[in-house]
Amino acid sequence: MQINSDFSSTALVHAEQLAWTPSPMAGVDRRMLDRIGGEVARATSIVRYAPGSRFSAHTHAGGEEFVVLDGVFQDEYGDFPTGTYVRNPPTTAHTPGSATGCTIFVKLWQFDPNDRNQFHKLMVDELAAPVDGIATATLHEDAREVVTYRHLDAGVTLVVEDLGGIEMLVIEGSVAVANNALSKHGWLRLPEGEALMARAGVGGAKLWIKSGHLPYARAPEMLGE
């Protein structure tokens, strides 16, 4: 399966307008944003767990990174409420689910194969004091990528010029990028060489942003696993 798999081109998805697609597990549905592969895939998705649903136990050979968008996500490592950022690197295993239901933004098979840094954190707890109407939290940074969370006041423009491509999810509020308006769960991926200029709407915006990672984009079989 190939969805927005040309990383040299801009990709934009208004995820709230997509239909939910059932996963192999009952009660777990998804909206696919980008994907290379079948059920084992380099994938970026929004995944919804119905109350009481869960996946069977499995190991993440390629790693898993996610943000809890609403509800409470649960596994052997704990209960993760709305606003939690989680990194489960290659070789980690769990049995994910949600007693009350939840929605997560999740990225699979996008880790350095040697990464073993497993952690979770509440994104809002990491925010620094605002500068010119923008509060920033650095969630993760290594040689391959930088992951941040930003709060933008109304009307403020965020400029990100990082190398290696830029990816953004609107968690709350809205932004305008070029001639495109993105609201809740709007997703944008810019290729290498393009800067992000996002102007917050009247209610401000909360954004998850990753940069630097696109040169490493590969399908699982290309990574030799």
pLDDT tens digits along 102-154: 999 999 999 999 999 999 999 999 999 999 999 999 999 999 999 999 999 99
Per-residue pLDDT at 225 exceeds 60: no
For residues 84-104, give the mean pLDDT: 96
Task: Write out the H or E segment, with its range, that includes residue 12.
Answer: strand 11-14
Residues 60 and 89: their CA atoms lie apart, in Å, by: 7
Which whole number is the average pLDDT over 89-94? 95
Assess whether pLDDT exceeds 70 at residue 38.
Answer: yes
Has residue 224 got a pLDDT over 60? no
Residue 222 is predicted with a pLDDT of 55
List every span in the chain annotated with CATH 2.60.120.10.
Answer: 2-121, 124-214
Q: What is the pLDDT of residue 221?
A: 65
pTM of the model as a whole: 0.95
Quick: pLDDT tens for 168-208: 999 999 999 999 999 999 999 999 999 999 999 999 999 99
Q: Which CATH number does the domain 2-121 belong to among 3.90.1150.10, 3.30.460.10, 3.40.1670.10, 2.60.120.10?
A: 2.60.120.10
Lowest mean pLDDT among 6-10, 40-44, 87-91, 211-215: 40-44
pLDDT category at 94 given cuts 50, 70, 90 is very high
Number of C-alpha atoms within 13 angstroms, CB side, residue 166?
A: 19
Fold of 124-214: Jelly Rolls (2.60.120)
Residue 219: band (very low, low, confident or very high) from pLDDT cuts 50, 70, 90: confident
* 3-state SS assignment for residue 216: helix
pLDDT tens, residue by residue, 108-121: 999 999 999 999 99
